[in-house]
Amino acid sequence: MSTTVENIQKQIQENPILIYMKGTPQLPQCGFSAQTVQALMACGERFAFVNVLDNPDIRAELPKVANWPTFPQLWVEGELVGGCDIVVEMYQNGELEPLIKDAAARAKANDEQGDDA
């Protein structure tokens, strides 16, 4: 059986765009998660999410793994981008959308290469 930390590492590795949040994108359970997911959805790409309210083990362990104490957390291509304030600021100054679109394009290219193998 894999540990919570291994599960977190696997989620981050397997999902090029991943948000750990309270609630779901359709029904955020906190204002910070709502703002972050709104900025992410405005970028127009698909992304994965983990509801930390449904996963208390991940909620407890992720801040240690990430060295980031709060939720939401946006991860892009294995790197922690940040929480609500950082993501919203990046969206407002035009940095978030290219980051998300580039990650999505690379993931799509990798998937297509994998299909040919």
- Can you give the pLDDT at residue 110? 86
On whether 84 is known to bind a ligand per the annotation, the reply is yes
Give the pLDDT confidence of 20-49 residue by residue, as tens digits: 999 999 999 999 999 999 999 999 999 999
What average pLDDT does range 7-11 have in this prediction? Answer: 96
On whether 43 is known to bind a ligand per the annotation, the reply is no
- Can you give the pLDDT at residue 111? 81
On whether 71 is known to bind a ligand per the annotation, the reply is yes
Report which of residues 95 and 113 the model is more confident about.
Answer: 95
On whether 101 is known to bind a ligand per the annotation, the reply is no
Measured CA to CA, the distance from residue 108 to residue 11 in angstroms comes to: 17
On whether 85 is known to bind a ligand per the annotation, the reply is yes
Secondary structure class of 27 (helix, strand, coil): coil
Q: What is the pTM of this model?
A: 0.93
Tokens for 50, please give them.
Answer: 């983990």
Measured CA to CA, the distance from residue 59 to residue 33 in angstroms comes to: 14
Give the pLDDT confidence of 44-79 residue by residue, as tens digits: 999 999 999 999 999 999 999 999 999 999 999 999
Residue 82 near residue 54 (C-beta atoms within 8 A): no
Give the pLDDT confidence of 74-103 residue by residue, as tens digits: 999 999 999 999 999 999 999 999 999 999
Measured CA to CA, the distance from residue 10 to residue 26 in angstroms comes to: 24
* Of the candidates 75, 91, 73, the residue with the CA atom closest to the CA atom of residue 83: 73
Domain 4-116, second-level architecture: 3-Layer(aba) Sandwich (3.40)
Report which of residues 21 and 113 the model is more confident about.
Answer: 21
Residue 116 has pLDDT above 90, yes or no: no
| Helices (H), ranges, 15-95 | 31-42, 56-66, 84-92
